[in-house]
């Protein structure tokens, strides 16, 4: 799986850096896969090398990858034994990426051809047999003698004549069978079917010319991100830090995202650093009490996003503890107290290992702030009490003695009091001191102010200091509050993104105010784009309008195709689409996951379902059968086939994919758990690696995932990567029918309405500000040229580009673009070009700098 950094090949672990480079940039570090230097041979290569190389290329193609010419030449120079080791390791990485590293055996062996149509009759037969069957007696169903016996591990008595070998699990309880016995004979794999085309996600694998440079560049891109890292990015960060080394932190750049900064600092401070180096790191990178709290969470194994607390707060080495208290003592007292009170419950636990009152004379301001946090009594008979009274006198009116305790009026309290009193100007003035908070609340402020011009001027004055991710989110919030209301969609920070919707009852902002705020915010983003290095020609793909600018990346699933939440893509060609689920349960714990789909009609009604209780939905959706356990090494797999035309014919508009943990075991407890979507597999087996279009991990302390919604009318798939809140056990689609119907329509309507900034807009802002000529590739493959007119400013040029307005009648330039934002990377680019591509295609990660969607936002960092 994508976050699994110990891929196994032929009994040996593949180096985690090799996995990271292949997944992120398509570069193969052959030396990390078991191969050695290029062998010097005279004459022709042995036939074994040529044969092995052809076999490796064929196996890679079957998984959806092509071997590039440089990589092929390097592999061809290896001795046969080295080629075998390297090839097996590379295939192990690729198989893990698509989910082919494990067998996929559905309950009904001949799925989708032999799945019972009458689920109720099947259930009755199962219960009847379970209750009445006795050993050494005739079968209760067919009357035969000698055909009844127990199966392992459940020991249910099963008649091999009534329940044929179409099952791979116990026919009665559907637990995965172990050992020898009936129902376990392997099914013959179909042969002679049509050759599957390469999937959209197909990419070229190339040789990493300089592994160290690739590692440093990948690490630098992650550290420069302006949005929190996803779990897979965090795992890659740890691998890259191990490669670069943490013994000497002099290389460490300024890291804009505080969560990322805390992760890196925690790894550095865990090493053998001198006291002076520790102090230097803290002074440079801990600029607030919340930075220190994030660092403490990371040091204790918790989440530096402050969502999930550490399981326990460990003791800290005394030098580090004293250095942290000294750093807190050096902060502005007002900001220090505000930050402690803003995260009061978290700090009450995190402060224990710091022992802030052990020597308060060494750090008096920090001791006073923690006394406010804890509500410590001021006892003049003690040294601490006298210190607290002196602090109140020194820092009045911020601090005061009240009821025998040290108190403070926090910044947050003053803001909330101003808003409750209807004093919007005071709230705006206070929030202007924290520009990010101002923009996060800009819609609420805009609905309350009497003087919109003052708010606009304040936003314009502070926007230059705000992170680009916050600016992009503010643009979306302003549009959602200005445009006609639709369902309001929530993606909270906590844990995984638990999605829910409700009608948007907020008052609409006046169109002129909403438009003015939009222009101020987008104008700042365009200004920043203009500060980036210019290029002669840029190319952008109009299909990027289907992709949403990334948000809530902190909880994004590790996926084969990194679709930002809310993005849509056309369904793969063919009549059928197949959903899949695989999991392996931990030893000693039975886990029953269920793959289900919910059907929603044109009018938003819940119209039906296909799951373990209904294996067929009018033959338009077919379930492979309900496996109720997944012991290693086989695990368990479930599939649902969707006949797109048949579902449309029955008036179905949306199909929501859902994965439930039936017996309420969280996904994080699994040894391995992932799901995804295949294109039409033809006559192949249940799981065809080459047909995999998307594959994603199931993670987190959750039991119900809603990863995607299919719009059958438009023929699109919308990636929402969210979860639902569920209680108790025995989860099923029918139990959540209304919720699923509402969420399916709301998610599609919310994102399709264009309220959130799209990657198309982001790409146009980059291109219009940086290039004199922009080539647009339209959805039909045609291209148009846009050139800046004399006297045309960035705003007008970007607006014409975003709207696909009038083009330049001259020919499209032939110069290779140095900046590209594409759906599929199949265009020739200049050496060293910056390129984003949803599907990497032919792009060579050693020739061009590959960007993620988050990198397009990170490039618009404050500056100038």
The model's pLDDT over 456-472, given as tens digits with 9 standing for 90+, comes to 999 999 999 999 999 99
**Domain ranges in the chain?**
8-101, 105-184, 257-409, 535-548+757-858, 556-752
Contacts 24+ apart (CB under 8 A), 799-805: 801/540, 801/764, 801/767, 801/768, 801/774, 801/776, 802/760, 802/761, 802/764, 804/542, 804/776
Q: What's the length of the chain? A: 864
Is the pLDDT reported for residue 184 higher than 70? no
401-405, 564-568, 813-817, 860-864: the lowest-pLDDT one? 860-864
Average pLDDT over residues 166-189: 70
Write the CB contacts of 518 (distance below 8 Å, at least 6 apart in sequence). Answer: 475, 478, 479, 482
Kindly provide the b/e burial profile for residues 513-538, where b requires at least 16 CB atoms within 10 angstroms of the residue's own CB. Answer: bbebbbbbbbbbbbbbbeebeebebb
Give CA–CA dist 804/652, Å, rounded. Answer: 33
pLDDT at 252: 85
Write the CB contacts of 284 (distance below 8 Å, at least 6 apart in sequence). Answer: none
Q: For 593-687, where are the E strands, in sequence order?
A: 593-601, 606-610, 616-617, 621-623, 636-643, 652-661, 672-678
CATH of domain 105-184: 3.30.40
Same fold: 105-184 with 556-752: no
CA angle 842, 844, 845 (to 5 degrees): 135
Q: Cβ distance 696 to 674 under 8 Å?
A: yes
CA atoms 747, 751, 756, 757: torsion sign: positive
User: Mean pLDDT, the chain, as a whole number?
Assistant: 87
Write the CB contacts of 65 (distance below 8 Å, at least 6 apart in sequence). Answer: 94, 202, 203, 204, 205
CA angle 841, 843, 846 (to 5 degrees): 145
Q: Cβ distance 265 to 296 under 8 Å?
A: no
Is the pLDDT reported for residue 814 higher than 60? yes
For 307, 436, 513, the CA distances from 449, given in Å and listed in that order, are 33, 19, 11
Structure confidence at residue 819 as a pLDDT band (50, 70, 90): very high
Largest CA distance in the chain: 95
Give CA–CA dist 158/12, Å, rounded. Answer: 41
Give CA–CA dist 706/721, Å, rounded. Answer: 6
Nearest of 183, 173, 182, 139 to residue 159 by alpha carbon = 139
* Six-digit token string for 857: 């936002």
Structure confidence at residue 498 as a pLDDT band (50, 70, 90): low
Between residues 794 and 577, the one the model is more confident about: 577
Q: What digits encode the pLDDT tens for the residues 39-53?
A: 444 445 566 788 889
The alpha carbon torsion through 762, 765, 766, 771 (nearest 10 deg) reads: 150
192-201, 433-442, 755-764: the lowest-pLDDT one? 192-201
**Total Cβ atoms within 10 A of residue 429:** 15
Between residues 33 and 834, the one the model is more confident about: 834
Kindly provide the b/e burial profile for residues 68-93, where b requires at least 16 CB atoms within 10 angstroms of the residue's own CB. Answer: bebbbebbebbbbebbbbbbbbbbbb
Give CA–CA dist 708/571, Å, rounded. Answer: 12
Structure confidence at residue 538 as a pLDDT band (50, 70, 90): very high
pLDDT at 39: 40
Structure confidence at residue 396 as a pLDDT band (50, 70, 90): confident
Is the pLDDT reported for residue 850 higher than 60? yes
Between residues 256 and 2, the one the model is more confident about: 256
Q: What digits encode the pLDDT tens for the residues 589-634?
A: 999 999 999 999 988 899 999 998 899 999 899 999 989 899 988 8
pLDDT at 499: 61
Structure confidence at residue 37 as a pLDDT band (50, 70, 90): very low
**Total Cβ atoms within 10 A of residue 386:** 14
pLDDT at 833: 96
Structure confidence at residue 5 as a pLDDT band (50, 70, 90): very low
Give CA–CA dist 432/435, Å, rounded. Answer: 5
Provide the CB-side half-sphere exposure for 539 (13 A, CA): 28
Give the CATH fold of the 556-752 domain: Lipoxygenase-1 (2.60.60)
Is the pLDDT reported for residue 549 higher than 70? yes
Give CA–CA dist 804/776, Å, rounded. Answer: 9
Q: What percent of the chain has pLDDT over 90?
A: 55
Average pLDDT over residues 716-737: 80
**Total Cβ atoms within 10 A of residue 652:** 25
pLDDT at 516: 96
Is the pLDDT reported for residue 504 higher than 70? yes
**Total Cβ atoms within 10 A of residue 396:** 10
Is the pLDDT reported for residue 89 higher than 50? yes
Q: What digits encode the pLDDT tens for the residues 757-805?
A: 999 999 999 999 999 999 999 999 999 999 998 889 889 999 999 999 9
pLDDT at 13: 65
Structure confidence at residue 246 as a pLDDT band (50, 70, 90): low
Q: What digits encode the pLDDT tens for the residues 92-140?
A: 999 999 999 998 888 877 777 767 776 666 767 777 676 677 777 788 7
pLDDT at 493: 58
Is the pLDDT reported for residue 170 higher than 90? no
pLDDT at 119: 65
Average pLDDT over residues 498-514: 81
Task: Map residue 27 onto helix, strand or coil.
Answer: strand
Contacts 24+ apart (CB under 8 A), 92-95: 92/7, 92/8, 92/9, 92/10, 92/14, 93/7, 93/9, 93/14, 93/18, 93/19, 93/22, 93/23, 93/33, 94/22, 94/60, 94/63, 94/64, 94/65, 95/63, 95/689
Q: Cβ distance 652 to 599 under 8 Å?
A: yes
pLDDT at 45: 57
**Total Cβ atoms within 10 A of residue 155:** 11
């Amino acid at each position: 799986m994508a976050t699994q950094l110990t891929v196994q090949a032929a009994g040996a672990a593949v180096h985690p850096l090799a996995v990271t480079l292949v997944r992120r940039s398509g570069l193969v570090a052959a030396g990390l896969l078991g191969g050695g230097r290029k062998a010097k041979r005279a004459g022709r290569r042995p036939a074994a090398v040529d044969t092995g190389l052809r076999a490796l290329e064929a196996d890679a193609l079957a998984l959806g990858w092509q071997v590039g010419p440089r990589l092929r030449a390097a592999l061809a120079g290896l001795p046969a034994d080295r080629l075998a080791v390297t090839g097996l390791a590379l295939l192990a990485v690729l198989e893990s990426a698509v989910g082919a590293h494990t067998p996929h055996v559905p309950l009904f062996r001949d799925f989708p051809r032999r799945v019972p149509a009458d689920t109720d009759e099947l259930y009755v037969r199962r219960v009847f047999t379970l209750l009445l069957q006795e050993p050494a007696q005739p079968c209760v169903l067919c009357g035969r003698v000698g055909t009844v016996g127990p199966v392992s591990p459940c020991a249910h008595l099963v008649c091999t004549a009534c329940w044929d070998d179409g099952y791979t699990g116990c026919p009665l309880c559907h637990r995965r069978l172990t050992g020898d016995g009936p129902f376990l004979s392997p099914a013959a794999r179909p042969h002679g079917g049509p050759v599957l085309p390469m999937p959209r996600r197909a990419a070229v694998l190339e040789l990493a010319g300089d592994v160290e440079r690739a590692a440093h560049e990948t690490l630098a891109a992650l550290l420069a991100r302006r949005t929190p890292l996803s779990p897979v990015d965090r795992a890659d960060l740890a691998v890259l830090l191990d490669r670069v080394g943490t013994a000497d932190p002099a290389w460490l750049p300024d890291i804009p995202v505080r969560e990322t900064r805390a992760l890196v600092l925690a790894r550095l401070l865990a090493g053998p650093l001198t006291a002076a180096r520790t102090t230097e790191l803290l002074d440079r990178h801990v600029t607030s009490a919340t930075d220190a709290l994030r660092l403490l969470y990371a040091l204790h194994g918790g989440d530096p996003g402050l969502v999930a607390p550490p399981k326990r707060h460990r003791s800290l080495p005394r030098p580090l503890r004293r250095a942290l208290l000294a750093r807190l003592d050096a902060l502005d007292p007002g900001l220090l107290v505000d930050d402690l009170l803003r995260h009061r419950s978290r700090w009450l636990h995190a402060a224990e290992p710091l022992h802030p009152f052990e020597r308060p004379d060494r750090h008096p301001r920090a001791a006073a702030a923690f006394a406010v946090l804890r509500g410590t009594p001021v006892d003049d008979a003690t040294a601490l009490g006298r210190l607290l009274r002196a602090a109140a006198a020194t820092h009045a009116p911020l601090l005061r003695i009240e009821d025998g305790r040290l108190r403070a009026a926090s910044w947050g309290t003053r803001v909330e009091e101003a808003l409750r009193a209807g004093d919007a100007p005071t709230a705006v003035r206070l929030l202007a001191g924290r520009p990010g908070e101002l923009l996060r609340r800009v819609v609420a402020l805009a609905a309350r102010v009497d003087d919109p011009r003052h708010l606009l001027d304040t936003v314009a004055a502070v926007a230059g200091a705000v992170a680009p991710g916050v600016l992009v989110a503010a643009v979306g919030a302003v549009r959602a509050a200005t445009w006609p209301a639709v369902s309001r969609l929530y993606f909270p920070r906590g844990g995984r993104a638990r999605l829910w919707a409700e009608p948007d009852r907020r008052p609409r902002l006046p169109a002129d105010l909403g438009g003015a705020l939009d222009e101020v915010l987008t104008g700042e983003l365009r200004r920043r784009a203009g500060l980036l290095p210019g290029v002669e020609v840029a190319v952008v793909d109009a299909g990027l309008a289907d992709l949403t600018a990334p948000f809530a990346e902190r909880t994004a699933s590790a996926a084969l195709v990194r679709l930002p939440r809310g993005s849509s893509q056309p369904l793969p060609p063919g009549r059928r689409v197949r959903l899949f689920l695989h999991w392996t349960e931990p030893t000693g714990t039975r886990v029953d996951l269920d793959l289900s789909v919910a059907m929603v009609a044109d009018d938003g009604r819940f119209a039906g379902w296909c799951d373990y209780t209904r294996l067929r939905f009018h033959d338009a959706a077919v379930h492979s059968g309900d496996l109720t356990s997944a012991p290693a090494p086989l695990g368990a797999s479930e599939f649902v086939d969707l006949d797109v035309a048949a579902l449309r014919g029955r008036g179905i508009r949306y199909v929501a994919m859902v994965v439930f943990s039936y017996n309420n075991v969280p996904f994080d407890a699994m040894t391995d758990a992932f799901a995804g979507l295949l294109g039409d597999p033809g006559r192949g087996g249940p799981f065809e690696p080459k047909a995999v279009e998307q594959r994603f991990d199931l993670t987190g302390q959750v039991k119900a995932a809603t990863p995607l919604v299919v719009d059958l009318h438009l023929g699109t798939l919308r990636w929402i990567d969210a979860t639902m809140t569920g209680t108790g056990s025995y989860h099923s689609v029918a139990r959540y029918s209304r919720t699923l119907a509402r969420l399916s329509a709301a998610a599609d309507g919310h994102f399709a309405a264009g309220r959130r900034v799209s990657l198309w807009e982001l790409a146009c802002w980059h291109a219009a500000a940086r290039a004199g000529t922009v080539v647009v590739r339209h959805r039909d493959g045609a291209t148009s040229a846009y050139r800046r007119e004399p006297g045309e400013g960035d705003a007008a040029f970007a607006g014409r580009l975003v709207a696909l307005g009038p083009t330049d009648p001259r020919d499209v330039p032939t110069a290779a673009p140095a900046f590209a934002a594409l759906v599929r990377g199949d265009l020739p680019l200049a050496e060293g070009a910056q390129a984003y591509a949803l599907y990497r295609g032919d792009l060579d990660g050693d020739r061009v700098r590959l960007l993620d969607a988050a990198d397009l936002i990170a490039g618009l960092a404050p500056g100038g």
